Structure 1
Amino acid sequence: METSTVDAPQSEDLNLLRGLAADLAALGYTVDGVADLLGPAAHAALARDQIVPALVALERRGRGARDAQEGTLAAVVRFFLLGQDVPAEELEPAFPTARTGGLLALGLAEEAGESSLLRASVDLRPYAWDEGEGEVRLWVASDLAAHQRAGVLRKDHVLGIGHASATLIQSTARRPVESALDLGTGCGIQTFHLLRHARRVVATDISERALAFTRFNLLLNAETLAIAPEHLEERVELRLGSLLEPVAGERFDMVVSNPPFVITPRVEGETAQDQFTYRDAGLPGDQLVAGLVSSLGDVLTEGGTAQMLGNWEVREGSRWQERIRSWVPKELDAWIVQRELVGPEQYAETWLQDASEQRDADSYARSYAAYLDDFALRNTSGIGFGMLWFRRPSPGQARFDRYEELGHPLEQPIGPHWQAAVERADWLEEIGEAGLEGAHLVVADDVTEERHQRPGAEHPGVILLRQGAGFRRTSLLSTEQAGFVSACDGELAAGQIVGALGALLGRDDEEFRRNLVREVKELILDGFLVKA
């Protein structure tokens, strides 16, 4: 791809990028540094795109700043995060190497009417995550959002680290892989995470501006991401194109995608320039997600996995699972978690507000009506949102055909728990029923039991197992299941416990044994029981 894109950060001057990274690190422009400066309440509000508490906090802080560096950090926060015009002389101390002239040259700043005032051209914010062995700290550039600039978003807006991208990061079941594909990379956030466990990543996008942002972010954070800036292509390839077209004929061990899945009414005569590229693929209904799911088998290696987010339409009188199941190729496993189901009205309101279209009342009314007419045309009663996992299984791996609704809060990140569940399923497939009967099991550490009974009753009428971690499921137990779980202390093998329960309950028939073993497998798959 071209290294220079108009109206996007410039990344040709590697020395200037190194200087900028050094300046930001020395300043303490980190997630913790900004949080400490603003205070917890204002920092939390900023995460909700509310800048007023941060402005108030900085004004109060300015009257009693501890030192000059704190005042300089406040100027950078006002500039990049709050969208405020800042005098160049206030910013200059923050960038002793890059200088404010470097910000202008990199396309991060522009003159704001008067030569002494500068205005941010992008949102450049600190980002971090904990990998257990230490925190990974980056800086991520994206377009300024609606709360940072006036007017409706530009159609080729490059989204920052939003709720959807964070959801995909947290839900990805990570494992070391040779090759990975980030389909629809945006500002590159999924690629940054993939680089921590993939030797090579291909990042694609239909937007040239998005790829320019991704390239800038990769090179700005080259040292942390273990990239040689002069040889970026050795670890990351950036490719321009739609969906899977840029990787036709190639296969990957892992695919992640936060695609433009938003369902948007089509308008006669519209062009690609009329669409918000970060969320709208220009196809009617949920065809984008349907087409992508049906094609994933073409790009996965044996044992390869794909995870993505999506919206799907639920037609009047049908179940949400039916539509997605019809898209999945026979050669792929599928595990789909629906997190939310909303009506056409709420869906329209969400996405009209997302692009600040409510600022034009007449346009808002027309667009709202268009959404409702579009959904009515296809007899759509609801729109689902959720997380999709797929695998091209290797011989000996478990098969998945799982569709579930989990609307309650999950432990985050959920990805490690997702990966653990897949590994448990593969273990059960490997050992078979005979191996399971010889396995020693214990109750997972996060699991608790609840018993409910009528006052004066001799026995509980309801016995529940609850997970405090992971997917946080609740399981209603039968008497024999409750007895099995109570005996799982690692001492007896599963087959011994089943036999003892059969004798105790007067059920030593094969049907009892077969049904209880099947129910035990489900408790293992869901993580209530684990290997001792």
Structure 2
Amino acid sequence: MPVTEGAGRQEFDDDVPSAPSSTDLPALEALAGDLAALDYTVDGVEALLGVAAYSALGRGQLVPALLECRRLLRGGGSAQVIPVLLWLLGETVPEEGLHAAFPGIGVPGLERLRLIERTGPEGGAAEGATGAGAGDAAEGAAGSGAGAAPARWRAAVELRPYGSDVGGNLWVASDLGAEQRPGPLRHDHVLGIGGASLTLAQTVLRTPVDRALDLGTGCGIQAFHLLAHARHVTATDISDRALAFARFNLLLNAPALDLDAQRLGNRVLLRRGSLLAPVGGEHFDLVVSNPPFVITPRTGEEGYTYRDGGLAGDAIVETLVRDLPGILAPGGAAQLLGNWEITEGTAWDRRIRSFVPPGVDAWIIQREQLTPVQYAETWLRDAAENRDRSAYLDGFAAYLADFASRNVEAIGFGSVWLRRPGTPSNLVRVTLEEITHDIEQPVGPHLAAAIGRNDWLAAHTEQAASGIGIADEFLLVADDVTEERHQRPGAEHPGVILLRQGAGLRRTTLLSTELAGFVSACDGDLTAGQIAGALAMLLERPDAAFTSALLVDVEQLIREGFLIPAP
């Protein structure tokens, strides 16, 4: 989604020759029927390959899966092996194998949808195949006779099964990766189901909404999830190929996504354009975006549309954080992933905090930091640019020089949540925190609960002036919270008291003795004010300042989810 001038609003319904075709709806229906009959699902492929080989496949290691497919074919074979060889492993397969596996749509139909391409009758592995021999085994399993070698086919795209809470078993088409087709990626490469897209899908709050926007939709994964809780979804991208892939994926999975393939626009609109240009003047209840946030040097060479935003440094993330609140309906929220630069000698949150416009609630969580060297290594390898030593050296040098020009010592990665308050308020909250340990996934429900607690506290803060606050509320210890006490051998009292969360963000917090006493009394029988008053008398601290300071610490425990309001 590089930034371009004059992209404007434009509905997308084109047939892009270099992407799968979605113009033949009966063919898509037949394909879906064949895939279902083959049990070409996440569970079906895992059962076929075995847990170890399937797990390796998820890490980008194709060899165990390929070896297992060969073993299965030597034992008599199965039509189930054909789509795995073809679309997951990048192997060639014989025409007879395709006919056996896809009786509904047939080989001409697969070619017409631009999912396969002929490699000729001579046999042998396709360019970029992971190893020789699998195609020969598949040919034997299909029962080809002696004589002239049959035509062979290879994948034109990746077509991967996807299991989600959206619609059960789905299929997602995208461009083949470097593992299946070695060599640098094309610059308009359409990324499939990657770590970042799954992270965003697990982070988004799944509150039912009327209108949602998937900004920079790519192959359409976020739109899939949005359709489960949004009445209508608008999906945008600057790439014609990305929109063509997204349209194909939506129509292929139309029944599972509750879409009318004949009237796709009733629930989904695809629009071409850069950033907010395709939706200018509109407002949405929810915006999600996995934008092209990768920070790449401006060398004058063409970037990769799936990851390079076309602006210097982290300006693409800055632009979105500043501008997205302007298209949110009152009470609407935006969630996105991003990278931000950390300049030498400054705190990690200083720059990203400056992006947030006034009057907007924000919660920014940094999940990872990389040095410029680590960053260059990651993204040069991502696009398979490390295969040419000379180009790799030049690219690495360009990354380091670019970061040095802005005095960047680290690059942060994380998630951003923004909300336009429903009514003007002086209690706008901007929270930034670093959480680098493992958290529970999907984390979206826990983020939603945390925002709900913050709103509850904000309402009580407004009441605090009248002397109410949280003092009259009953509190409970959250179900996932445990306490740890540590003390020196022979010590009379513990020196360290910790609360730990077993779920959600899995935070740990250090407690004072009086705060630990407060938490131990939160069983719903006494109000917060009554507990604080009892502690004040017990500790001989009857002054109002003690109680007030204690309740401030209690509010933080509520905010972080260690304590929750009693129902």
Tell me the equivalent position of 2:35. Answer: 24
CA distance in 2, matches of 1:64, 1:267: 53
3-state secondary structure, aligned to 1:185: coil
CA distance in 2, matches of 1:137, 1:328: 39
Tell me the equivalent position of 2:273. Answer: 241
CA distance in 2, matches of 1:145, 1:157: 9
For structure 2, the 5+ residue unaligned runs are 1-11, 122-149
- Could you tell me whether the CA contact under 8 Å between 2:42 and 2:161 is conserved in 1? yes
- Could you tell me whether the CA contact under 8 Å between 1:3 and 1:12 is conserved in 2? no
Q: Give, in angstroms, the shift of residue 349 of structure 1.
A: 0.2
Q: Which amino acid aligns with 2:517?
A: G
Tell me the equivalent position of 1:9. Answer: 20
Tell me the equivalent position of 2:444. Answer: 415
Tell me the equivalent position of 1:186. Answer: 218
CA distance in 2, matches of 1:399, 1:436: 19
Tell me the equivalent position of 1:441. Answer: 475
Q: Structure 1 stretch 464-473 or stretch 320-329: which is displaced more?
A: 320-329
3-state secondary structure, aligned to 2:441: coil
- Residue deviations 1:131-168 (CA, integer Å, cap 9, x gap): 7xxx6221000000000002110000000000110110
Aligned residues: CA RMSD: 1.3
The counterpart of 1:126, out of the listed 161, 165, 172, is 161
CA distance in 2, matches of 1:425, 1:127: 35
The answer on 1:524 being equivalent to 2:558 is yes
Q: Which amino acid aligns with 1:368?
A: F
Q: Give, in angstroms, the shift of residue 72 of structure 1.
A: 0.6
Tell me the equivalent position of 1:212. Answer: 244
Q: Give, in angstroms, the shift of residue 327 of structure 1.
A: 1.1
For structure 1, the 5+ residue unaligned runs are none
Tell me the equivalent position of 1:461. Answer: 495
Q: Give, in angstroms, the shift of residue 217 of structure 1.
A: 0.2
Q: Give, in angstroms, the shift of residue 445 of structure 1.
A: 1.1
CA distance in 2, matches of 1:250, 1:196: 22
Tell me the equivalent position of 1:109. Answer: 116
Q: Give, in angstroms, the shift of residue 265 of structure 1.
A: 0.6
3-state secondary structure, aligned to 1:41: helix
The counterpart of 1:388, out of the listed 404, 407, 416, is 416
The counterpart of 1:258, out of the listed 290, 295, 301, is 290
CA distance in 1, matches of 2:304, 2:32: 31
* Identical-residue share of aligned pairs (%): 59
CA distance in 2, matches of 1:318, 1:491: 47
CA distance in 2, matches of 1:402, 1:445: 25
Q: Give, in angstroms, the shift of residue 60 of structure 1.
A: 2.2
3-state secondary structure, aligned to 1:390: strand
CA distance in 1, matches of 2:417, 2:369: 19
Q: Structure 1 stretch 489-498 or stretch 234-243: which is displaced more?
A: 489-498
Q: How does 1:53-452 map to 2 (within 5 A)?
A: 53-64=64-75, 71-114=78-121, 116-130=151-165, 136-268=168-300, 270=301, 274-395=302-423, 399-431=428-460, 432-433=463-464, 434=468, 436-452=470-486
Q: Structure 1 stretch 306-315 or stretch 319-328: which is displaced more?
A: 319-328
CA distance in 2, matches of 1:236, 1:394: 26
CA distance in 2, matches of 1:396, 1:499: 35
CA distance in 1, matches of 2:365, 2:272: 30
After superposing on structure 2, the runs of 4+ consecutive aligned residues of structure 1 that deviate more than 4 Å are none
- Could you tell me whether the CA contact under 8 Å between 2:325 and 2:334 is conserved in 1? no
Q: Which amino acid aligns with 1:427?
A: W
CA distance in 1, matches of 2:408, 2:418: 26
CA distance in 1, matches of 2:250, 2:516: 52
- Could you tell me whether the CA contact under 8 Å between 1:396 and 1:430 is conserved in 2? no
- Could you tell me whether the CA contact under 8 Å between 2:13 and 2:270 is conserved in 1? no
CA distance in 2, matches of 1:181, 1:358: 35
3-state secondary structure, aligned to 2:416: strand
CA distance in 2, matches of 1:137, 1:508: 62
- Could you tell me whether the CA contact under 8 Å between 2:359 and 2:428 is conserved in 1? no
3-state secondary structure, aligned to 2:207: coil
CA distance in 1, matches of 2:14, 2:34: 23
CA distance in 2, matches of 1:240, 1:147: 30
TM-score, normalised by the number of residues in structure 1 = 0.96
CA distance in 1, matches of 2:37, 2:66: 23
Q: Give, in angstroms, the shift of residue 435 of structure 1.
A: 5.2
Q: Which amino acid aligns with 1:213?
A: F
CA distance in 2, matches of 1:18, 1:30: 16
Tell me the equivalent position of 2:4. Answer: none
Q: Give, in angstroms, the shift of residue 84 of structure 1.
A: 0.3
Q: Which amino acid aligns with 2:179?
A: H
- Residue deviations 1:227-262 (CA, integer Å, cap 9, x gap): 101110111110001111101111100000000000
CA distance in 1, matches of 2:544, 2:239: 61
CA distance in 1, matches of 2:514, 2:507: 20
Tell me the equivalent position of 1:471. Answer: 505
CA distance in 2, matches of 1:399, 1:444: 26
Tell me the equivalent position of 2:135. Answer: none
- Could you tell me whether the CA contact under 8 Å between 2:213 and 2:234 is conserved in 1? yes
3-state secondary structure, aligned to 2:114: coil
Q: Give, in angstroms, the shift of residue 396 of structure 1.
A: 8.6
3-state secondary structure, aligned to 2:355: coil
Q: Structure 1 stretch 436-445 or stretch 404-413: which is displaced more?
A: 436-445
Q: Give, in angstroms, the shift of residue 5 of structure 1.
A: 0.5
CA distance in 2, matches of 1:302, 1:528: 30
Q: 1:176 to 1:309 in 2, by over 3 A?
A: same
- Could you tell me whether the CA contact under 8 Å between 1:155 and 1:277 is conserved in 2? yes
Q: Which amino acid aligns with 1:180?
A: A
Q: Give, in angstroms, the shift of residue 446 of structure 1.
A: 0.9
CA distance in 2, matches of 1:484, 1:30: 51
Q: How many residues align?
A: 521
Q: Structure 1 stretch 113-122 or stretch 480-489: which is displaced more?
A: 113-122
3-state secondary structure, aligned to 2:153: strand
3-state secondary structure, aligned to 2:375: helix
Q: Give, in angstroms, the shift of residue 292 of structure 1.
A: 1.1
